[in-house]
Amino acid sequence: MCSCAGADLPRYRIQVEYDGSAYHGWQRQAGVSTVQEHLEHAATTACRTPVTVVGSGRTDTGVHAIGQVAHFDLPDDLALTSAMHRLEHSINGILPDDIAVRDLRSAPDNFHARYDARRRCYRYYVSTQWRALDRGRRVQVGASVDFERMNRAANDLQGEHNFSSFCRTQSETENRVCRVYRAHWVAEERPGDWYFVIEADRFLHGMVRAIVGTLVQIGLRKRDEDSLPEILQARDRRVAGPAAKAKGLVLYEVHYDDSTTGEPTN
Amino acid sequence: MCSCAGADLPRYRIQVEYDGSAYHGWQRQAGVSTVQEHLEHAATTACRTPVTVVGSGRTDTGVHAIGQVAHFDLPDDLALTSAMHRLEHSINGILPDDIAVRDLRSAPDNFHARYDARRRCYRYYVSTQWRALDRGRRVQVGASVDFERMNRAANDLQGEHNFSSFCRTQSETENRVCRVYRAHWVAEERPGDWYFVIEADRFLHGMVRAIVGTLVQIGLRKRDEDSLPEILQARDRRVAGPAAKAKGLVLYEVHYDDSTTGEPTN
């Protein structure tokens, strides 16, 4: 029985962390290595039944995740927590070490990782310093970048806006309105290390990287501090700045109505 | 003129960060790739003169550093800050991307990265969760490990002790007494992520990894909580626990009398 068949099968949800460096993004595609493909292979092997995994959303080539959320159905009810722990352990044992799952648990039959997600939170990691240890997930920016200036500018992102100017896809029909709950830069423990956190109900294709690329231009005084409202109004991707590199971007957590997230509660 | 010659040449110091995964440790050795060798090659190429680099201490194969400190002499006086920035930039451009230098600056002629170091600080990173993104620098430990118990045990490390039981090298003559200023576990932002921080005037070969391996046994209740004083008294490496894996260990900072450290002041 195929696990994608249905409503009658017990449903489970899981959190997925991955280093996106080696993958052509989340979504299964013929001929390239993707996170979804590896996850479905591992779950199928561990469960001895075909498993289809539905994620909260796609991530692009090279983008990482700490709190991706996915659901899948199994023909068997893993009634006991210990059975879920064993399955989680088996899946991790099969997965390559740059993908890990955790917090496998039962979900309501109608839970849907994508449609039920209410807020998604991304982080984009930068440093003004040359970094070696975190080089796979942190992008160097010019030492003269002004984070306070970027934070003042980022205020203009909050609220409901049409984000066409920050969307890579050219489809005319898609709804381009997103509600941004927070968008600001946070200083980390090591001087020079910062991350940009942005939380919204939904994100368009390439949106965070286009926003970060534009903010960095503002931080380097290549754009006015108050230029974001005008860029948003233009609804034209060419008006915004270049996309920041994929490797700095992490899908950090996904929030659902039951106030669970893509971060482990341990 | 050889840069190791001398007292008359202008001396510089630098901080070095590296991902130790690909290296046979810090110290130059024939036939294997080491951090010192790459650094000397980059500095020699950038300066067009042979440069010998002296580090604050060795790190083992696979061990990382964020705040290693090193000194070297150059025949020319880089009188201007801008010249130092240019040299730092050149060296980073030549180095592989898993080694980075920063904070290049003038040092007194008699400054010595090893002999003048007063305190060294290491961190050892673990997680009770399966991790993918930080897998190169974080070691998974059993979910049942009790960090409070390990912290109570770690109190016994503080102060001046003979650390022969935590030393890999069997030399009889070496001074095995170290003064530990702090040794405790710190919870990180993500549930399940912790690091052990230990700061001492000096460290013996393999000392931090032997301490962490022993503490984890205590945390898993394979050893008594108060077993460290007895292990220290035994002065026998076989009495302590196994060495924790190299990849979790980071030389975090080195302190000197002028209260400068191996961490960037930005």
Long-range contacts from B24-32, C-beta under 8 angstroms, 24+ separation: B24/B61, B25/B58, B25/B59, B25/B60, B25/B61, B25/B62, B25/B63, B26/B55, B26/B57, B26/B58, B26/B59, B26/B65, B26/B68, B27/B55, B27/B58
Considering chain A, what is the average pLDDT of its residues?
92
For B151-219, what is the HEC assignment?
HHHHHHHCEEEECHHHCCCCCCCCCCEEEEEEEEEEECCCCCEEEEEEEECCCCCCHHHHHHHHHHHHH
Written as one string, the DSSP assignment of A190-246 is: STTEEEEEEEES---TTHHHHHHHHHHHHHTTSS-TT-HHHHHHHT-GGGS-PPPPG
Inform me whether the pLDDT recorded for A263 exceeds 80: no
Q: Chain A: nearest CA to B66, how far in angstroms?
A: 7
For A95-135, what is each residue's pLDDT tens digit? 999 999 999 999 999 999 999 999 999 999 999 999 999 99
* Average pLDDT per block of 10 residues along chain B, 266 residues long: 58 97 96 97 94 96 98 83 89 97 93 97 97 96 97 98 92 86 97 97 96 98 97 96 98 86 46
Give dist(CA A42, CA A33) in Å, integer.
14
What was the ipTM of the complex prediction? 0.89
Give dist(CA A78, CA A195) in Å, integer.
39
Whether the CB of A19 is below 8 Å from some CB of chain B: the reply is yes
Whether the CB of A132 is below 8 Å from some CB of chain B: the reply is yes
Query: Chain A residue closest to B95 (CA)?
Result: A132
Q: Who among A18, A130, A192 is closest to B132 (CB)?
A: A18
Q: Are B197 and B150 in contact (CB under 8 A)?
A: no
A101–B137: do the CB atoms touch at under 8 Å?
no
Whether the CB of B138 is below 8 Å from some CB of chain A: the reply is no
3-state helix, strand, coil in chain A (%, to 5): 25, 25, 45
Q: Chain B: nearest CA to A234, how far in angstroms?
A: 37
Name the residue type at position B196: F
B192–A264: do the CB atoms touch at under 8 Å?
yes
For A71-80, what is each residue's pLDDT tens digit? 999 987 776 7
Strand partners, A12: A72, A106
Q: Chain A: nearest CA to B37, how far in angstroms?
A: 16
Number of helices (H), then strands (E), in chain B: 5, 10
A11-115: CATH topology is Alpha-Beta Plaits (3.30.70)
B266–A192: do the CB atoms touch at under 8 Å?
yes
Inform me whether the pLDDT recorded for A249 exceeds 70: yes
Query: Chain A residue closest to B129 (CA)?
Result: A102
The reply to whether B11-115 and B119-252 are identical in fold is yes
pLDDT at B1: 41
User: Rounded to whole angstroms, what are the CA distances from B216 to B147, B161, B178, B237?
Assistant: 9, 20, 21, 16
User: Rounded to whole angstroms, what are the CA distances from B137 to B7, B133, B262?
Assistant: 38, 9, 19
Residue B140's Cβ-side half-sphere holds a number of Cα atoms within 13 Å equal to: 12
Whether the CB of B99 is below 8 Å from some CB of chain A: the reply is yes
What residues have CB less than 8 Å from A90, skipping those under 6 apart?
A: A46
Query: Chain A residue closest to B66 (CA)?
Result: A133
DSSP state letter for B21: G
B119-252: CATH topology is Alpha-Beta Plaits (3.30.70)
Quote the percentage of chain A above a pLDDT of 70: 93
Q: Who among B97, B130, B191 is closest to A100 (CB)?
A: B130
Strand partners, A196: A124, A185
For A136-170, what is each residue's pLDDT tens digit? 999 999 999 999 999 999 999 999 999 999 998 87
A98–B266: do the CB atoms touch at under 8 Å?
no
pLDDT at B176: 94
pLDDT at A89: 95
> What are the boundaries of each domain within chain A?
11-115, 119-252
